[in-house]
Amino acid sequence: MDLKERLMEDLKQAMRAQDTRRRDTIRMVRSAIKNAEIETQGEADDAKVIEILAREVRMREEALLLFRQGNRDDLVAKTEAEIAILQEYMPRQLDEAEIREAVQGVVDELGANDMRDLGAVMQKAMSELKGRADGRMVNQIAREILSS
């Protein structure tokens, strides 16, 4: 079962269980997927769905920071719940040590030795780690490795 089918099945289950938070979150994601399919005029595969899920999580994490600054505890709780629901559909995120190991492997493979090679390292690393690692963290680690 691909991710879109799983989302549809989980939506049905949430509706049966009257779980409004899960239902609404899945509906928002399905809407974002449908909009992406209309934009690209093609079906979204699992990789594209994961990319959309990551974007939705990132948007909610940014909003979460603002809600915390504004002392909006009601919105903080709602947003944290949405993030938890979305992360159920994403692949396991790599920790810093795993990302560091993968980036070091890319640096060794490409023979990169200074910051001029950052673009090539990032392109290769992100293609390997897509959906499993935050791009900002990959960039930070790549910069550390290349500058040392």
**For the chain, which domains are there?**
3-87 (1.10.1510.10), 96-147 (1.10.10.410)
* 2-34: pLDDT as tens digits: 889 999 999 999 999 999 999 999 999 999 999
Which residues contact residue 120 at a Cβ distance below 8 angstroms, ignoring those fewer than 6 apart? 110, 112
Q: Decide if 38 contacts 54 (C-beta within 8 A).
A: no
- DSSP labels for 69-128? HTT-HHHHHHHHHHHHHHHTTSPPPP-HHHHHHHHHHHHHHHT--SGGGHHHHHHHHHHH
- CA distance linking residue 82 with residue 140, whole number of Å: 27
pTM of the model: 0.73
- CA distance linking residue 7 with residue 27, whole number of Å: 9
145-124-50-35 Cα dihedral, nearest 10 degrees: 120
H/E stretch holding 7 reads helix 3-17
pLDDT band at 136 (very low <50, low <70, confident <90, very high): confident
Pick from 94, 134, 102: nearest CA to 121:
102
Q: Decide if 128 contacts 118 (C-beta within 8 A).
A: no
pLDDT band at 44 (very low <50, low <70, confident <90, very high): confident
* 80-127: pLDDT as tens digits: 999 999 999 988 888 888 888 988 988 888 888 888 888 888 888 888
Q: Decide if 142 contacts 122 (C-beta within 8 A).
A: yes
Give the pair of three-digit tokens for residue 13: 């289950």
Q: Is the pLDDT of residue 131 over 80?
A: no
